[in-house]
Amino acid sequence: MRIKFFFFILVLFLLGLGGLLFHFVDKIHFMHLYIIEGLIAFILLYLIVFYRKIVKPMNTIGCGMELLREQDFSSRLSQVGQYEADRIVNIFNRMMEQLKNERLRLREQNHFLDLLIQASPMGVVITTLDGEVSQVNPMAVKMLGVRLEEVIDKPLDQVDSPLATELAVIPKDETAVVRLNDANIYKCTHSTFIDRGFKHPFFLIERMTEEVMRAEKRAYEKVIRMIAHEVNNTTAGITSTLDTVEQALSAEEGMDDICDVMRVCTERCFSMSRFITRFADVVKIPEPTLASVRLNDLVAMCKRFMEGMCNDRKISLRLECDPEIGSVRLDASLFEQVLVNIIKNAAESIDSFVGESGRRGEIIIRTVAPAYIEVIDNGSGISKEVEAKLFSPFFSTKPNGQGIGLVFIREVLIRHNCTFSLRTYNDGLTRFRIMFNA
């Protein structure tokens, strides 16, 4: 029970005692009555002093405890005129001022960190102790390629995103470089921070695509130029010599077979020169000349151009155009080559798979508003191991592939500021998706 309550019980007891004295006043000696009344008056005065010196300070300190419990750090206690109690009040007020300043500092710091996380060019994914995503900044949402509501309160391995799948397998306190099926490269760090005594996991995602691509491009440009220079110089000398020898031998009798061999060698040299020229063309991709082009018309023209090849291979080529799509700014000639290459790759994938399965091959070219192209095929598909290497220079899954087709596609789409991906989905269909960004 509180000391204030005991104090009032004592006051009531003394008042009751005074009342009894007045009731028996006739039976008490006059002198004794004055002594008793003086004693009661003294006790009452002492109680007043006791209240001011003990009860009131204790009540004030109790109010301070309530302020702490309610976390009201802006209120202060007033002094009560009692030395020991005022010392406690001063210490309490200083403590409340420090708590207020610390709380304000932490609030400002947390607000700054929130703003920093939201505006950071790096992706930040914070998870709970159970591994569920609790916070994602806008850059991470963009990198994951999903909507915010599709990732919050879910484990990373249940988010429909290739990057989320890669993040889920990175061990704690380790860093991994992840190359995805959309030609993007990320440096991902899995670490923890302390909050209320517990280690909370988080992921930092740094896009390295531009830096790696620039380094790759510098490397393969130098290699291709050197190889092209050497090959062209060598083949030019060889073909010139072969032509001279063939002309000299053609005048002789019985040299027809040797002349045929010379012509085959010459053609092979020209073939090698054309081969290396294709590599050099990747280095010399021109900057796109952008113009307003109706996307559906461009796709329909590419479909008509590739119909003959698909019919020869008994592949159904179908077009699904969204009439809501208008014009898009692009370089028509470069983009035609991109679509032709994508359809050609899809047809070759079907050739290697549909013959074994016995089903009819099918390619669907689909456009979706506002500006989105999707090329779908039911070919052999792409494994997870191959996905990460698709857009790497000189990588090819074809026996005679040169590994420059997807590099050409990548370079053109990047110069058009397009977002793209190539992936085989759970339904067994492979989709090459291209999205035009504003």
pLDDT digits (tens, 9 = 90+) for 55-75: 666 666 667 667 667 666 677
Q: Looking at 41-55, 112-126, 302-316, which range is the least confident one?
A: 41-55
DSSP 199-215: EEEEEEEEE-HHHHHHH
| 3-class secondary structure, 294 | strand
The answer to whether 272 touches 213, Cβ cutoff 8 Å, is: no
**Which helix (H) or strand (E) is 135 found in, with range?**
strand 133-136
User: Can you say whether residue 425 is alpha, beta or left, with left for phi > 0 and alpha for psi between -120 and 50 degrees?
Assistant: beta
The answer to whether 295 touches 419, Cβ cutoff 8 Å, is: no
Q: What is the pLDDT of residue 55?
A: 63
DSSP 387-401: HTTTTSTT--SSTT-
Strand spans (E) along 233-380: 291-294, 315-320, 327-330, 361-368, 372-377
Given 283, 302, 325, the domain boundary residue is 283
Cis? peptide before 370, omega within 30° of 0: yes
Q: Is there a single domain that holds both residue 70 and residue 163?
A: no
Q: Where does the pLDDT of residue 25 fall: very low under 50, low under 70, confident under 90, or very high at 90 and above? A: low
- Residue 89 covered by a domain: yes
- Residue 114 covered by a domain: no
Per-residue pLDDT at 197 exceeds 80: no
Report the sign of the C-alpha dihedral through residues 383, 385, 391, 394, in that order: negative
CATH number of the domain bearing residue 189 = 3.30.450.20
Tokens matching residue 198 = 């517990």
pLDDT digits (tens, 9 = 90+) for 221-238: 666 666 666 666 677 777
Q: What is the pLDDT of residue 374?
A: 92
The total domain count for the chain is: 4
Distances (CA, A) of 50 to 11, 37, 43: 11, 19, 10
Q: Is there a single domain that holds both residue 146 and residue 102?
A: no
pLDDT digits (tens, 9 = 90+) for 403-429: 677 888 888 888 888 888 888 888 888
**Which helix (H) or strand (E) is 126 found in, with range?**
strand 123-127
| 3-class secondary structure, 317 | strand
- Residue 230 covered by a domain: yes
The answer to whether 259 touches 249, Cβ cutoff 8 Å, is: yes
Residue ranges in 317-424 assigned as alpha helix (H): 332-357, 384-387, 405-415
Given 283, 318, 337, the domain boundary residue is 283
Q: Where does the pLDDT of residue 353 fall: very low under 50, low under 70, confident under 90, or very high at 90 and above? A: low
Mean pLDDT of 364-371: 89
DSSP letter (8 states) at residue 185:
E
Mean pLDDT of 232-249: 73
Distances (CA, A) of 283 to 207, 218, 279, 397, 404: 24, 9, 7, 22, 10
Average pLDDT value for the chain? 77
- Residue 53 covered by a domain: yes
Mean pLDDT of 318-335: 87
* Rounded-to-integer distance, Cα 362 and Cα 359, Å: 9
- Residue 112 covered by a domain: no
Q: Is there a single domain that holds both residue 160 and residue 39?
A: no
**Which helix (H) or strand (E) is 436 found in, with range?**
strand 430-436
Q: Where does the pLDDT of residue 1 fall: very low under 50, low under 70, confident under 90, or very high at 90 and above? A: very low
Q: Where does the pLDDT of residue 399 fall: very low under 50, low under 70, confident under 90, or very high at 90 and above? A: low
| 3-class secondary structure, 372 | strand
Q: Where does the pLDDT of residue 103 fall: very low under 50, low under 70, confident under 90, or very high at 90 and above? A: confident
Q: Is there a single domain that holds both residue 300 and residue 431?
A: yes
Q: What is the pTM of this model?
A: 0.56
One-letter identity of residue 327: S
Mean pLDDT of 30-38: 66
Report the sign of the C-alpha dihedral through residues 69, 75, 80, 84, in that order: positive
Pick the more confident residue, 96 or 30.
96
Please give the residue range of the domain that contains residue 59. 1-107
Mean pLDDT of 240-262: 72
Number of Cβ within 10 Å of residue 392's Cβ equals 17
Q: What is the pLDDT of residue 52?
A: 65
The answer to whether 176 touches 166, Cβ cutoff 8 Å, is: yes
Q: Where does the pLDDT of residue 192 fall: very low under 50, low under 70, confident under 90, or very high at 90 and above? A: confident
Given 107, 132, 163, the domain boundary residue is 107
User: Can you say whether residue 174 is alpha, beta or left, with left for phi > 0 and alpha for psi between -120 and 50 degrees?
Assistant: beta
* Rounded-to-integer distance, Cα 383 and Cα 29, Å: 114
pLDDT digits (tens, 9 = 90+) for 117-135: 788 888 889 888 888 888 8
